[in-house]
């Protein structure tokens, strides 16, 4: 059984896809998502082998979403689109396959056969070449906001999740992993649990035991571990 | 002795006076020739102080001719000739400069030398000298940039007189025996001084007159042309029709003072102003043979009523007796109509108005072309709208089919309803007999569309209508509400993760229909900029149709709401 996640913002489209996959058999639908943020969370949580991903979705399209996936456990992607404008680009983004909606069961069958044959994990190296992130999706109470990377002061990873702190000092929850953010943005890892935006550093204080402490332009502090201090000094051009 | 001497002196004086009069007579014939030639284009190079080689050559030829003419028109005296050769030589130098003066003098001098006689050498030399004197004067005034003085008859008289004095001196100096020289000079000096001085002065006067006339004509011409061009600016850009051509005709009529002005298209009179406007009526078919010929052959036709007969084909009592028909030429050298100028029987067609007429026809042709271009642009804008009508977003189409295939499975009855909505939507999209629709029509169209979107987005979309029934018969440009609602969904709600709400409201305020579409996405102008074209077209169409106080108004609170309000005057469409 192939573990699959299905993602589409239109409920009837989701149920249609579910029916088709059920009919095809040998597929275990482990979850559904109605938008990119839900999808990222579901992928992190459920670690499916394949994601059937609609391209046209609110705020963050399917194409944009791939760049936000944690490269350490990236599933294979089968894109779905109503119109083949995006087909070429979809393959450039290293999709496994793409399907046109409404989906033809025979065509879906071929995709599933290929998936069955080729169960090797997605080539992580290819995904790394994806475009750098310009915005970070953050989920609030009932909204998703997109925070521009240059407006972020630092990112903190806690037991409760990854939080992005903007210039306003507000902490926003994001589904993206610290590793994704480190790889896809220009932010600098200064601690096992922290990324900092170098453009927002006001002060670097040195503390006992080879530790450091960053004071941001907004006056908030970010710890620097021994491991990253030397590299940080080099980055900032101080000795 | 004394009386005899007196008589002798008296008869000598009489002789000289007679000779002077005779030479003056000859000079008159000479001047008549000059006058006649001055009416020809031959003289145009002489109207200005010449610098160009071609003009200098023309001056050389003409004045050499006059120089030789002066010799032939002279009076034989013994073996010498009392002549007006000096006029050609001096004027040649004056107007053409030293080189032309020298060349004319040499030509005239050699010619004189070929005729022989005791003074042949002296005369040849003195003619060259006279040409040079004229040339030096030319250099003097040109150096001071006092061109006008070269054309001053008084100065010309003075120079010629000086040149003649020099000639006499040269004869006395060169010709031998001296007695012969003295006798010749004694007899011809007075007549030649008077005749040459006056002749040169009059010759220059003729030139001066011509020059003034030309200048006045060209200044009148350019003033008229500029005035008409300025007044007519842009009128024909608004189209080539009865209204615009009437305004153009009025301007031409007022500025040229011709008897009447008319403009036609290929078939009928568009405008007629002036004499005979009681029977030359706009809207009537072209009756005149000239006009039809001008249109067929793309040719200016001129019937002066004298050489070429012109009779008004409409009324025997028409006062118009001459006409000029100039074709108006559009794209690809196609004649699109004519401009006609008329003069009454008792008036001559002035040359200026003929030339002006042709120039104006060219000017207006260009303007009409520009107008057509504008019109084409508008047509293009209209066809853009048509395109938007017919253009169905492929994403919308295939997503809809996808939803259908899902719902057919789960709820066949609902799927049937959806198919009906879909056909309503397509029917409204494809079939738009008129460019204007009622609000009711638009609402039906929008409703069909929204029903489909409701099925697609399910609980992510809520639609609210608030349209009072009486307003449903208000007229508005077809497809406009649909475009706005589609925008609100495509660029607003579709990008929302939480539930979207679209509210469509119509109300009346002081004779104006306020139709607003509000969404709770607040994403207008952000993220993807696809909402520009359609909205701009709708706005432009409303402004074009109802004026600038109507149109679209967009207010956007980012991330909260976007509200597009359409303002159109309340006009009811008859059922």
**Low-confidence winner among A179-183, B252-256, B391-395, B490-494 (lowest mean pLDDT):** B391-395
Cα separation, B369 vs B465, whole angstroms:
48
Q: Which residues contact B20 (CB under 8 A, 6 or more apart)?
A: B190, B191, B194, B195
What is the percentage of chain B residues whose pLDDT exceeds 70?
93
Cα separation, B177 vs B183, whole angstroms:
10
Q: List, for residues B548-558, the tens digit of each pLDDT value.
A: 889 999 998 88
List chain A residues with CB under 8 Å of B496.
Answer: 58-59
Q: Is A151 on the interface with B (CB under 8 A)?
A: no
Q: Is B410 on the interface with A (CB under 8 A)?
A: yes
Rounded average pLDDT over B145-174:
88
Residues belonging to chain B: 575
Q: Is A133 on the interface with B (CB under 8 A)?
A: no
Residues belonging to chain A: 239
Q: List, for residues B177-226, the tens digit of each pLDDT value.
A: 888 888 888 888 888 888 889 999 998 888 888 888 877 777 777 777 77
Tokens (6 digits) for A122: 């997605």
Split at pLDDT 50, 70, 90, the class of B431 is: low
Helix (H, G, I), strand (E, B) or coil at B195: helix
Instruction: Tell me whether strands B512-519 and B561-569 are parallel, antiparallel or unpaired.
Output: antiparallel
Split at pLDDT 50, 70, 90, the class of B532 is: low
User: Residue B464: pLDDT above 80?
Assistant: yes
* Tens place of pLDDT per residue across chain A (239 aa): 899 999 999 999 999 999 999 999 889 999 999 999 899 999 989 999 999 999 988 888 888 888 888 877 788 899 998 887 766 666 666 678 889 999 999 999 999 999 888 776 655 555 555 668 888 998 876 677 888 999 999 999 999 999 999 988 889 999 898 988 998 888 999 999 999 999 999 989 988 888 899 999 999 999 999 999 988 988 888 76
> What domains does chain B contain, in order, with CATH numbers?
2-217 (1.10.1760.20), 237-376 (3.30.450.40), 392-569 (3.30.565.10)
CA distances, B403 to each of A15, A102, B411, B412 (Å): 9, 8, 11, 12
Q: What is the DSSP string of B395-458?
A: HHHHHHHHHHHHHHHH-HHHHHHHHHHHHHHHHHHH---SSEEEHHHHHHHHHHHHHHHHHHHG
Give the model's pLDDT for residue B357. Answer: 79
Consecutive H or E run containing B281: none
ipTM above 0.85, yes or no: no
Rounded average pLDDT over B327-347:
83
Nearest C-alpha in B relative to A58 = B495
Nearest residue to B70 (alpha-carbon basis) of B23, B16, B12, B6: B23
**DSSP category for residue B345:** T
Using alpha carbons only, how large is chain B's radius of gyration in Å? 44
Cα separation, B527 vs B34, whole angstroms:
85
**Cβ pair A59:B497 closer than 8 A:** yes
Q: Is A167 on the interface with B (CB under 8 A)?
A: no
Helix (H, G, I), strand (E, B) or coil at B262: strand
Contact criterion met (CB below 8 Å) for B354 and B388: no
Nearest residue to A81 (alpha-carbon basis) of A114, A54, A51, A108: A54
pLDDT averaged over every residue in chain B: 84
Consecutive H or E run containing B565: strand B561-569
CA atoms within 13 A on the CB side of B207: 27
> What domains does chain A contain, in order, with CATH numbers?
2-128 (3.40.50.2300), 135-236 (2.40.50.1020)
Give the model's pLDDT for residue A141. Answer: 67
Rounded average pLDDT over B439-446:
92
**Cβ pair B399:A101 closer than 8 A:** yes
User: Residue B501: pLDDT above 80?
Assistant: yes
Contact criterion met (CB below 8 Å) for B313 and B284: no
| Burial zone of B358 (CB within 10 Å; 0-12 exposed, 13-18 middle, 19+ buried) | middle
Cα separation, B525 vs B527, whole angstroms:
7
Give the model's pLDDT for residue B530. Answer: 53
Give the model's pLDDT for residue A134. Answer: 84
Nearest residue to B73 (alpha-carbon basis) of B55, B86, B61: B86
Helix (H, G, I), strand (E, B) or coil at B308: coil
Q: Is B494 on the interface with A (CB under 8 A)?
A: yes
Give the model's pLDDT for residue A121. Answer: 60
Nearest to A16 among B402, B458, B497 (CB): B402
**Cβ pair B406:A37 closer than 8 A:** no
Cα separation, B37 vs B543, whole angstroms:
65
Residue among A6, A7, A10, A87 with most chain B CBs within 10 A, to mutate? A10
User: Residue B309: pLDDT above 80?
Assistant: no
Which residues pair with residue B553 across a beta bridge?
Answer: B565
Contact criterion met (CB below 8 Å) for A107 and A96: no
Global confidence as pTM: 0.55
Q: Is A87 on the interface with B (CB under 8 A)?
A: no
Tokens (6 digits) for B12: 């000598």
Give the model's pLDDT for residue B353. Answer: 75
Nearest to B398 among A15, A101, A143 (CB): A101
In the block, tokens 């996405």 appear at B521
Nearest C-alpha in B relative to A135 = B527
Q: Is B458 on the interface with A (CB under 8 A)?
A: yes
Split at pLDDT 50, 70, 90, the class of B478 is: confident
- Kindly give the interhelix angle for B53-72 and B2-38, rounded to the nearest 10 degrees: 140
User: Residue B430: pLDDT above 80?
Assistant: no
Contact criterion met (CB below 8 Å) for B74 and B66: no
What is the percentage of chain B residues whose pLDDT exceeds 90?
25
Tokens (6 digits) for B265: 């298209």
Give the model's pLDDT for residue B183. Answer: 85
List chain B residues with CB under 8 Å of A83.
Answer: 394-395, 398
Pairwise pLDDT comparison (B450 vs B145), residue with the higher score: B450
Q: Is B221 on the interface with A (CB under 8 A)?
A: no
| Burial zone of A56 (CB within 10 Å; 0-12 exposed, 13-18 middle, 19+ buried) | buried
Q: List, for residues A73-99, the tens digit of each pLDDT value.
A: 788 899 998 887 766 666 666 678 889
Q: List, for residues B86-115, the tens digit of each pLDDT value.
A: 888 998 898 888 999 999 999 999 998 888
| Neighbour order of strands in the sheet with A135-139 | A144-148, A135-139, A171-174, A161-166, A152-158, A194-196, A188-191
Q: Which residues contact B281 (CB under 8 A, 6 or more apart)?
A: B269, B272
Give the model's pLDDT for residue B40. Answer: 80
Consecutive H or E run containing B505: strand B500-509
**Cβ pair B405:A16 closer than 8 A:** yes
CA atoms within 13 A on the CB side of B176: 1
Cα separation, B479 vs B457, whole angstroms:
23
User: Residue B462: pLDDT above 90?
Assistant: yes
Consecutive H or E run containing A111: helix A105-117
């Amino acid at each position: 059984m192939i573990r699959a996640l299905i993602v589409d913002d239109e409920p009837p489209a989701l149920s249609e896809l579910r029916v088709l996959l059920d009919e095809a058999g040998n597929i275990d639908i482990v979850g559904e998502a109605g938008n990119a943020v839900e999808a990222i969370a579901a992928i992190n949580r459920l670690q499916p082998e394949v994601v059937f991903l609609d391209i046209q979705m609110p705020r963050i399209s399917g194409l944009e979403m791939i760049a936000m996936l944690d490269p350490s456990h990236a599933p294979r992607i089968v894109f779905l689109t109503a119109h083949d404008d995006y087909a070429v680009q979809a393959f450039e983004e290293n999709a496994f396959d793409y399907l046109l909606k409404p989906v033809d069961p025979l065509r879906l069958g071929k995709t599933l056969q290929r998936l069955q044959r080729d169960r090797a994990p997605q080539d992580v190296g290819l995904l790394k070449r994806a475009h750098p992130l310009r915005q970070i999706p953050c989920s609030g109470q009932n909204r998703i906001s997109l925070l521009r990377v240059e407006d972020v002061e630092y990112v903190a990873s806690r037991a409760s999740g990854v939080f992005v702190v903007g210039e306003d000092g507000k902490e926003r929850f994001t589904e993206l992993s610290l590793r994704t953010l480190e790889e896809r943005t220009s932010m600098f890892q200064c601690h096992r649990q922290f990324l900092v935006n170098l453009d927002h550093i006001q002060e670097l204080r040195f503390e006992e035991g080879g530790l450091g402490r960053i004071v941001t332009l907004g006056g908030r502090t970010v710890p620097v571990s021994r491991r990253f201090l030397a590299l940080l000094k080099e980055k900032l051009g101080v000795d | 002795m004394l009386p005899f001497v007196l008589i002798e002196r008296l008869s000598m004086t009489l002789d000289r006076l007679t000779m002077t009069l005779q030479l003056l007579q000859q000079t008159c014939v000479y001047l008549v020739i000059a006058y006649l030639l001055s009416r020809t284009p031959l003289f145009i190079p002489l109207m200005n102080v010449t610098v160009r080689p071609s003009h200098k050559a023309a001056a050389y030829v003409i004045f050499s001719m006059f120089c030789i003419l002066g010799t032939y028109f002279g009076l034989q005296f013994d073996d010498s000739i009392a002549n007006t050769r000096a006029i050609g030589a001096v004027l040649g130098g004056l107007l053409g400069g030293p080189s032309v003066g020298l060349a004319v003098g040499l030509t005239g001098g050699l010619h004189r030398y070929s005729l022989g006689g005791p003074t042949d050498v002296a005369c040849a030399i003195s003619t060259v000298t006279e040409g040079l004197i004229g040339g030096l004067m030319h250099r003097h005034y040109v150096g001071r940039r006092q061109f006008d003085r070269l054309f001053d008859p008084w100065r010309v008289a003075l120079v010629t007189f000086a040149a003649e004095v020099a000639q006499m001196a040269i004869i006395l100096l060169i010709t031998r025996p001296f007695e012969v020289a003295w006798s010749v000079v004694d007899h011809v000096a007075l007549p030649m001084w008077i005749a040459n001085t006056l002749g040169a002065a009059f010759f220059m006067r003729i030139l001066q007159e011509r020059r003034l006339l030309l200048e006045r004509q060209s200044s009148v011409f350019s003033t008229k042309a500029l005035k008409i061009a300025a007044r007519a600016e842009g009128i024909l850009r608004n189209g080539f029709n009865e209204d615009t051509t009437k305004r153009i005709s009025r301007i031409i009529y007022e500025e040229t003072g011709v008897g009447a002005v008319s403009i036609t298209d290929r078939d009928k009179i568009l405008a007629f102003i002036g004499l005979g406007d009681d029977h030359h009526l706009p809207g009537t078919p072209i009756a005149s043979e000239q006009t039809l010929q001008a249109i067929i052959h793309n040719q200016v036709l001129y019937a002066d009523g004298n050489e070429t007969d012109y009779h008004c084909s409409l009324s025997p009592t028409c006062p118009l007796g001459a006409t000029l028909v100039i074709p108006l030429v559009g794209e690809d050298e196609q004649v699109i109509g004519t401009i006609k100028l008329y003069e009454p029987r008792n008036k001559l067609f002035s040359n200026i108005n003929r030339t002006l007429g042709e120039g104006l026809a060219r000017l207006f042709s260009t303007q009409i072309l520009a107008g057509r271009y504008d019109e084409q642009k508008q047509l293009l804008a209209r066809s853009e709208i048509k395109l938007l009508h017919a253009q169905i977003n492929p994403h919308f189409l295939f997503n809809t089919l996808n939803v259908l295939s899902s719902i057919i499975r789960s709820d066949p009855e609902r799927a049937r309803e959806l198919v009906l909505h879909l056909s309503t939507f397509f029917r409204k999209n494809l079939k738009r007999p008129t460019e204007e629709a009622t609000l009711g029509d638009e609402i039906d169209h929008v409703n069909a569309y929204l029903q489909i979107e409701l099925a697609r987005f399910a609980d992510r979309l809520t639609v609210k209508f608030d349209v009072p029934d009486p307003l449903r018969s208000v007229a508005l440009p077809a497809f406009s509400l649909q475009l706005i609602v589609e925008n609100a969904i495509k660029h607003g709600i579709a990008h929302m993760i939480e539930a979207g709400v679209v509210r469509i409201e119509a109300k009346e305020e002081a004779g104006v229909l306020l139709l607003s579409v509000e969404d709770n996405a607040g994403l207008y102008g952000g993220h993807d900029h696809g909402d520009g074209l359609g909205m701009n077209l709708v706005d432009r169409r409303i402004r074009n149709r109802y004026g600038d106080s109507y149109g679209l108004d967009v207010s956007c609170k980012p991330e909260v709401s976007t509200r597009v309000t359409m303002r159109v005057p309340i006009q009811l469409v008859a059922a």
